[in-house]
């Protein structure tokens, strides 16, 4: 089948599931074996992608934890701060009390934020 003979396809969302849709496919477009081969190939791609993502996250767990803790601490990070953390350094903005965040590979750092009551200033006046 040439590219011009192939039916147009699109990806649609059905709740939490992505669905590949053939626009107006003729009923005899594919045989049952072809549908099974397509399903098998899609499953292979999804499984391999999941495995690659899991491996990447596991191999970089220390960096992921460091970035997560820094984001919890500061809410935003500059590109330079991210580079500093990934290079094993610490960031210290000076205006935030507490210990600077340790670099990747160290134990989980403690947040230097001061606790405040839930609800913020509006809750105090209520």
pLDDT in tens, 11-60: 777 788 777 776 665 556 678 888 889 889 999 999 999 999 999 999 99
Query: Does 67 share its domain with 95?
Result: yes
Number of domains into which the chain is organized: 2
Query: Does 44 share its domain with 68?
Result: no
Query: Does 67 share its domain with 84?
Result: yes
Task: Give domain status of residue 14, yes or no.
Answer: no
Query: Does 67 share its domain with 49?
Result: no
Task: Give domain status of residue 68, yes or no.
Answer: yes
Q: Which two tokens stand for residue 61?
A: 């767990």
> By residue range, what is the domain housing residue 92?
61-106
Task: Give domain status of residue 83, yes or no.
Answer: yes
pTM for the model stands at 0.47
Instruction: State whether residue 109 is helix, strand or coil.
Output: coil
Q: What is the per-residue pLDDT across 73-120, written as a single tens digit (0 to 9) for each?
A: 888 999 999 999 999 888 888 755 555 555 554 444 555 555 444 444
Distance between CA atoms of residues 63 and 16, nearest Å: 29
Task: Give domain status of residue 120, yes or no.
Answer: no
Q: Which two tokens stand for residue 51?
A: 């495995």
Handedness of CA 36, 40, 46, 49 (dihedral sign): negative
Task: Give domain status of residue 89, yes or no.
Answer: yes
Query: Does 54 share its domain with 70?
Result: no
């Amino acid at each position: 089948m040439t590219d011009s003979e192939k039916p147009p396809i699109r990806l649609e969302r059905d709740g939490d599931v992505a669905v590949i849709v053939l626009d107006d496919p003729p009923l005899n477009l594919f045989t049952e074996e072809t549908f099974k081969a397509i399903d098998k190939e899609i499953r292979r791609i999804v499984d391999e992608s999941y495995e690659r993502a899991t491996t990447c996250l596991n191999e970089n767990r220390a960096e992921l934890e460091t970035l997560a803790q820094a984001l919890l601490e500061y809410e935003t990070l500059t590109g330079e701060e991210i580079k500093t953390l990934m290079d094993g350094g610490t960031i210290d903005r000076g205006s935030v009390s507490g210990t600077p965040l340790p670099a990747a590979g160290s134990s989980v750092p403690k947040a230097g934020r001061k606790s405040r009551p839930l609800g913020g200033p509006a809750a105090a006046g209520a």
